């Protein structure tokens, strides 16, 4: 028995030791788990977005340069999102930058108010027109019918800066363009057209209306950069003839610029004259334009001019949005309406594509308004994803030109991609 007791004690000792080691390891495991859990919580907390203190604290008045104290990274990002310039060296918003930002806010608020007033007036006019249409008091007219018997009073609203010095006619390379005279009412005007290739073939023609001062031309034939090529050279490179008209009051032409009134008649007259050229296929005449030229193209289409297609890149919906040298308040609402494509989209009879880039700068809001207005089934709207008011021109004109010369239907998606 003494021998057995002697063996029991060492065994008990081993058991106690094992239990102790197990407890120790378990406690260490718990500690390890606690540490891992703590680290995970710390990581989760670190990943939580830190609340941005905005606006940032102001610098002391004694600091004549910085408007704010030094910004942290989050505040720098926020300032850039707001469009506020940052001084990179001191990493603060300067007093000059803040003044510029506040002034811009005031200007934008004023523009927003002006736009709201214009939209309210537009809505009121639309409601009156809708009531008259519903009652049968008026029938829908095209632009020429609506203007019949009316004369523009724009001369009473012109500012002194509207009377510009005469600009000489450009002299393009003779192998690209030659002069063409045309008659618009009692005005003898000039245009430039692709010369006769002399091969007895008839070619399609596109009439292109330039942006900016659409009445005048300068160097219209030189191709621009891919990001801003306003030459529309893709059409002539594809084998089409091109016509660039100058309009009343433009260059050394007679007459006074009428801001989309008499100019509609000028464009129509230039097209009819070009259709008589022996090398032009009169059944394949197209009209296109950029910016102000696009607005004029839409108005010409709304006047009922029969062309095979119209391509308007970046027009406006409401004409008083243009910053021109005249007082719009002195122009009657009726005249403004008859200069604004918004009210005449229903009258377009030719297949028409309104095209604009989705990125700023652009007239994308005008595209949306034009497409939401009462419009003909012939009108198609194209918002070019990734393009702006200028970068859409070169790739989209190339696409259109290739389809036209092949005699294919124009295929452009509602959300076209560059």
Rounded to 10 degrees, what is the CA torsion of 276, 286, 204, 209? 80
Per-residue tokens: 69: 């104290």
In sequence order, the 6+-apart residues with CB closer than 8 A to the CB of 249 are: 215, 255, 256, 257, 258
CB of 224 closer than 8 Å to CB of 233: no
> Tokens 């970068």 sit at which residue?
391
Q: CA-CA distance, 201 to 188, in Å (whole number)?
A: 29
The β-bridge relationship of strands 352-357 and 379-384 is parallel
Q: CA-CA distance, 285 to 290, in Å (whole number)?
A: 17
Residue 295, phi then psi, degrees to nearest 5: -60, -45
CB of 167 closer than 8 Å to CB of 201: no
Residue 4, phi then psi, degrees to nearest 5: -65, -45
pLDDT tens, the chain, 418 aa long: 433 444 444 444 444 444 444 444 444 554 454 555 566 566 555 555 567 899 999 999 999 999 999 999 999 999 988 889 999 999 999 999 999 999 999 998 988 888 788 778 877 776 776 676 556 555 568 999 999 999 999 999 999 988 878 899 999 999 999 999 999 999 999 999 999 999 989 999 999 999 999 999 999 999 999 999 999 999 999 999 999 999 999 999 999 999 999 999 999 999 999 999 999 999 999 999 999 999 999 999 999 888 999 999 999 999 987 888 999 889 999 999 999 999 999 999 999 999 999 999 999 999 999 999 888 899 999 999 999 999 999 999 999 999 999 999 999 999 998 8
CB of 189 closer than 8 Å to CB of 245: yes
CB of 332 closer than 8 Å to CB of 375: no
pLDDT at site 38: 62
CB of 224 closer than 8 Å to CB of 303: no
Burial profile 329-356: b = 16 or more Cβ within 10 angstroms, e = fewer: eebeeebbbbbbbbbbbbbbebbbbbbb
* pTM of the full structure: 0.70
């Amino acid at each position: 028995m003494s021998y057995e007791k002697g063996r029991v004690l060492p065994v008990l000792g081993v058991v106690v030791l094992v239990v102790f080691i197990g407890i120790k390891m378990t406690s260490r495991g718990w500690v390890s788990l606690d540490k891992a859990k703590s680290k995970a919580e710390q990581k989760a907390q670190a990943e939580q977005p830190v609340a941005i203190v905005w606006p940032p604290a102001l610098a002391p008045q004694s600091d004549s340069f910085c408007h704010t104290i030094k910004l942290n990274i989050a505040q720098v990002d926020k300032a850039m999102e707001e469009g506020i310039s940052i001084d990179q060296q001191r990493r603060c918003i300067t007093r000059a930058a803040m003044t510029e930002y506040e002034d811009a806010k005031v200007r934008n608020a004023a523009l927003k108010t002006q736009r709201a007033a214009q939209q309210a007036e537009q809505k009121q006019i639309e409601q009156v027109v809708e009531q008259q249409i519903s009652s049968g008091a008026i029938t829908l007219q095209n632009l020429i019918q609506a203007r019949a018997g009316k004369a523009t009073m724009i001369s009473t609203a012109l500012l002194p800066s509207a009377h510009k010095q005469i600009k000489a006619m450009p002299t393009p390379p003779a192998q690209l363009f030659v002069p063409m005279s045309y008659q618009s009412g009692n005005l003898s005007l000039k245009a430039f057209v692709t010369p006769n290739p002399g091969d007895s073939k008839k070619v399609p023609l596109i009439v292109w209306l330039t942006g900016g001062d659409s009445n005048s031309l300068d160097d219209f034939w030189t191709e621009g950069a891919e990001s801003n090529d306003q030459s529309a050279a893709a059409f002539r490179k594809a084998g089409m003839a091109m016509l660039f008209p100058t309009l009343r009051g433009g260059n050394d032409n007679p007459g006074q610029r009428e801001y989309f009134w008499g100019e509609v008649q000028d464009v129509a007259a230039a097209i009819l004259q070009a259709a008589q050229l022996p090398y032009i296929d009169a059944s394949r005449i197209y009209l296109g334009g950029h910016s102000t030229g696009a607005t004029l193209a839409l108005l010409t289409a709304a006047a009922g001019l029969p062309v095979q297609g119209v391509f308007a890149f970046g027009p406006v919906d409401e004409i008083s949005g243009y910053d021109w040298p005249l007082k719009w308040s002195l122009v009657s609402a009726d005249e403004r309406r008859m200069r604004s494509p918004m009210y005449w989209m229903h009258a377009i009879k030719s297949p028409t594509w309104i095209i604009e880039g989705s990125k700023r700068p652009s007239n994308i809001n005008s595209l949306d308004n034009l497409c939401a207005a009462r419009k003909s089934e012939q009108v198609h709207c194209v918002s070019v994803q990734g393009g702006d008011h200028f970068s859409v021109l070169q790739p989209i004109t190339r696409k259109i030109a290739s389809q036209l010369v092949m005699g294919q239907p124009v295929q452009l998606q509602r959300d076209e991609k560059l």
